[in-house]
Structure 1
Amino acid sequence: MTFHVRSFALAALTVALTAGLMAAPARAADATTAPRTGFETSGGTRWTGEEEERSFLAAVDRASDRVALSRIGTTKQGRELALVAIGARPAATVTTVLLICSQHGNEPSGREACLTTVRDLAFARDRQTRAFLARTEILVIPNANPDGRAADIRGNSDRVDVNRDHIALKTAEGRAMAAVIRDHRPDVIYDLHEYGASPPYYDRDLFDLWPRNLNTDSRVHRESKALSERYVRPAAEDKGHTSGTYGIWTDPATGEPIRQVAGDGQERILRNASGVKNSVGLLIESRVDPLTDAEKADPAVNNRRRVSSQLAALEGLMSFAGERGPAVRAATSLARWNGFLDRGPIYLGGADNTPATPAETLADPPCGYRLDGTQFAEVKDELALHGVVAREVGDGAFVPLRQSQRKLVPLLLDARATYRLASGQPVTAC
């Protein structure tokens, strides 16, 4: 079954690309009063403003009983980090999907796609969407870096790349996302970005990539690749967009890979942290650069193509969640349960396309790590945000590997881990 949210946004953007203007919403009984983003009302000539975003989300929340809007944090400059929940409430038979939108503040198309997706799911009246939302919880962080978005910069107000903070959790933005992942335990985490092309080797409309970190459970890894290869890319291509693997340059004549420029297995990136934390993960990147003469002549045309490609890919995500929900829940549940079995190696390096060296492999991991009092005081809040269980012992703590986040623990506490929080003392006898 292919999932179709024939959204206000996607319908409007399709018309815009063919007629050069934005169409009015065309669905639902109250389509004439449904809120629209600043991007939509401007025909793509500008991105939705900060106050417009707040007003838009508040209006959707007021008008739809499917939606719950909450604050999950506040940035250094005092801007709200919001979470939107749509559809079913958490249960064993519900698939939870988390959208993380525009972690990089100068990559706005994902945010626009997320905002209109929130609205479209909130107001859709067709039977298929209602059935989908009865068994699926959609969580959306529409603007994961509002300070960066306001300044149109990649990082946050301290110029920190939020998408390199999913281990250290030093930023308000990273901490808020970690708490959502801990508390909601999403089955799927979908991370929306944009990229700059390098023609002719690296210039598709959309790139995506699954978790490459070797600590991703094999079932979760398999579902993540299926999300990419069987759903997201085909959905984008069905709408006329080209797609490929993020970080891989290809020969324009043969399509064969010739160079990897990004997309490694480092755990501090959300795409990989998702896999380590037992969620199916996917990074999506839309092309910023104009493609056609029309896009070069009119930035609004380019902007609309960027957003429409994100929306097309999101249709693939929704189809995946609707069709493979039970299989995905089984994969994530088993991955979490396997942590309590405390079996198998743990990797401090490598990726699914780069084998870990012996020095990067804990073939026989310790049963846990001992932190002294000073260490524990420094990292206990971060451990809690990660959902890692620590038992206070004396003036310090013991962090066992026998827990659902087993493969995360050494990445946080082993002295050989690149992005560790502390160098704990391995305990081999428990």
Structure 2
Amino acid sequence: MTSRIRTLVLSVAAAALVVPLTALPSSASTVGTAGTSAPAPASASGATSTADTPPRTGFEDSDGAEWTTLAGEQEFLAAVDRGGEGVSVSTIGTTKQGRPLNLVELGNKRSATSLLLICSQHGDEPSGREACLTTVRDLAYPEDRATKRFLDRTSVLVVPTANPDGRAADTRGNSDGVDINRDHIALRTAEGRAMAALTRDRQPDVIYDLHEYGATPPYYDKDLFDLWPRNLNTSSRVHDEAQTLSEAYVRPAARAGDHTIGTYGIWTDPVTGDPIKQTAGDGQERILRNASGVKHSIGLLIESRVDPGSEAEENDPALNQRRRVDSQLDSLKGLFDYADKRRAKIATATALSRAAGLLDRGPVYLGGADNEPAAPEDTLDNPPCGYRLDAAQYADVKDELALHGVKALPTRGDAAFVPLRQSQRNLIPLLLDSRATYHLTVGQPVATC
């Protein structure tokens, strides 16, 4: 790393030494700062612990027959908070139905490498949530020196249940039926707003988003699929690091656990392995993996297969559920190995991405993806200097701009001007340009400042 780049990186976070990490144990609506008081323990079935042993989830206690209840999650996290090492549990928001959005923090909060795990945005996709809960416990009770060294150099943030109302109802959407993973631009949900504030305040280097999917045999039925940010407003360094995370770390870790894995949204020929068509996984900025990239984090989506993969799984739902959770846990080993071995490259990529907006150079894309060039009408080769918002517009979107980390300059009569020359430069036209698919409002472009 050159001295100039090192100076820039160190201004964001101190560089860290690279220490290999052995596999971790596989246990089988505010605009302000994210993070408030810890949740009180709940008396409920679904988690067990004693004074002398680490807590267990309801999923573990039932040997995979039952998912951990929300009350059990509260009890489990309270036990981890009390007895774990270097762990804190807080609440970053509350759902419409009054359920807490929990945040677990582990490791070194001042570390140069920060990871954010977002689990179960879709309430009917619980396996990632179970993997997150047991990972929290295993990191809070480290048993080997390598894991302790990893935690000394890493900040790990976990939102175990990003959609508690949906989990309670076993529905994809929240209590209003909104798909939270389509709300990372509009921020109309309490859940989306909490995650935006968390991302803004903590600026994680990596955002890892855990999901599940339904198979379409024989073209689309691997144990796991993953995908990086495809949105073209993601910096090339962040995009390349996300692909490296997938191809060189998560996929090998999944295969080492004897799981098949491929690219999310791409059907493939079962004989040749050649892609046939794309059915999902585009560059929509409102999806978390894409919003992560636009906001300078190395994003990765991971999806485990819900459908039984064998006759044994068809006859034993607990076997199916254990396989789903185990596949998520094995892929997480790849994430942690990546963070440990590429610290300097991760810090360089995310720091330079955050700094690039201050230069205010280059095109902004209102469409397209890394595998689909943007159309001319979706390409702002010469973006405006900024956007003017009248008083009514600014009153309507100022909270969302603040949650996104976008700075607006107040002008006369309660109006505002939003300059592009800031860290979130490439996000601003997606929020305020009339041609952007998911814009919040239509600002008036200003050609020169």
Partner of 2:292: 274
8 A contact 1:2–1:319 mirrored in 2:
yes
8 A contact 1:109–1:310 mirrored in 2:
yes
> 1:126, CA displacement in angstroms?
1.2
Aligned AA for 1:341? L
State the alpha-carbon separation in 1 of the partners of residues 99 and 79 from structure 2.
19
State the alpha-carbon separation in 2 of the partners of residues 5 and 391 from structure 1.
48
> 1:8, CA displacement in angstroms?
4.9
8 A contact 2:84–2:137 mirrored in 1:
no
Q: Decide which of 182, 191, 199 is 1:181's aligned counterpart.
A: 199
Q: Decide which of 85, 95, 100 is 2:105's aligned counterpart.
A: 85
Q: Decide which of 164, 187, 195 is 1:146's aligned counterpart.
A: 164
> 1:322, CA displacement in angstroms?
0.5
8 A contact 1:111–1:142 mirrored in 2:
yes
Would you say 1:213 and 2:213 are equivalent positions?
A: no
Q: Pairwise mapping of residues 23-42 of structure 1 onto structure 2 (< 5 A)? A: 33-42=53-62
Partner of 1:17: none
Q: Pairwise mapping of residues 34-53 of structure 1 onto structure 2 (< 5 A)? A: 34-53=54-73
8 A contact 1:5–1:121 mirrored in 2:
no
State the alpha-carbon separation in 1 of the partners of residues 342 and 370 from structure 2.
23
> Structure 1 stretches of 5 or more lacking a match?
11-24
State the alpha-carbon separation in 2 of the partners of residues 124 and 307 from structure 1.
20
Residue aligned with 1:90, SS: coil
Q: Pairwise mapping of residues 11-30 of structure 1 onto structure 2 (< 5 A)? A: none
Would you say 1:132 and 2:150 are equivalent positions?
A: yes
Residue aligned with 2:342, SS: helix
State the alpha-carbon separation in 2 of the partners of residues 348 and 134 from structure 1.
40
State the alpha-carbon separation in 2 of the partners of residues 280 and 50 from structure 1.
29
> 1:6, CA displacement in angstroms?
3.6
State the alpha-carbon separation in 2 of the partners of residues 142 and 90 from structure 1.
22
State the alpha-carbon separation in 1 of the partners of residues 292 and 25 from structure 2.
28
Partner of 1:337: 355
Would you say 1:328 and 2:375 are equivalent positions?
A: no
State the alpha-carbon separation in 1 of the partners of residues 210 and 204 from structure 2.
16
Aligned AA for 2:155? E
State the alpha-carbon separation in 2 of the partners of residues 364 and 252 from structure 1.
44
Q: Decide which of 304, 318, 325 is 2:322's aligned counterpart.
A: 304
Aligned AA for 1:261? T
8 A contact 2:85–2:141 mirrored in 1:
no
Residue aligned with 1:285, SS: strand
State the alpha-carbon separation in 1 of the partners of residues 52 and 402 from structure 2.
46
8 A contact 1:3–1:316 mirrored in 2:
no
Identity %: 67
Would you say 1:65 and 2:96 are equivalent positions?
A: no
Q: Deviations over 1:25-80 (max 9, x none)?
A: 9xxxx996110000000000010001100000010011023101110000000000
Q: Pairwise mapping of residues 359-398 of structure 1 onto structure 2 (< 5 A)? A: 359-395=377-413, 396-398=415-417
State the alpha-carbon separation in 2 of the partners of residues 31 and 199 from structure 1.
47
Q: Decide which of 247, 250, 263 is 1:229's aligned counterpart.
A: 247
Would you say 1:412 and 2:422 are equivalent positions?
A: no
Aligned AA for 1:413? L
Partner of 1:316: 334
Aligned AA for 2:390? D
State the alpha-carbon separation in 2 of the partners of residues 260 and 104 from structure 1.
22
> 1:127, CA displacement in angstroms?
1.1
Aligned AA for 1:106? D
Aligned AA for 2:429? P
Residue aligned with 1:9, SS: coil
Residue aligned with 1:398, SS: strand
> 1:117, CA displacement in angstroms?
0.2
Would you say 1:422 and 2:441 are equivalent positions?
A: yes
Aligned AA for 2:375? T
Would you say 1:96 and 2:114 are equivalent positions?
A: yes
> Structure 2 stretches of 5 or more lacking a match?
1-18, 29-47
> 1:326, CA displacement in angstroms?
1.4
8 A contact 1:102–1:111 mirrored in 2:
yes
8 A contact 2:389–2:417 mirrored in 1:
yes
More moved, 188-197 vs 320-329: 320-329
Aligned AA for 2:317? P
Q: Deviations over 1:226-257 (max 9, x none)?
A: 00000000000001000000000000010000
Partner of 1:7: 25
State the alpha-carbon separation in 1 of the partners of residues 173 and 218 from structure 2.
28
Partner of 2:277: 259
Would you say 1:400 and 2:419 are equivalent positions?
A: yes
Normalising by structure 2, report the TM-score. Answer: 0.90
> 1:89, CA displacement in angstroms?
1.2
Moved over 4 A (4+): none
Normalising by structure 1, report the TM-score. Answer: 0.94
> 1:341, CA displacement in angstroms?
0.2
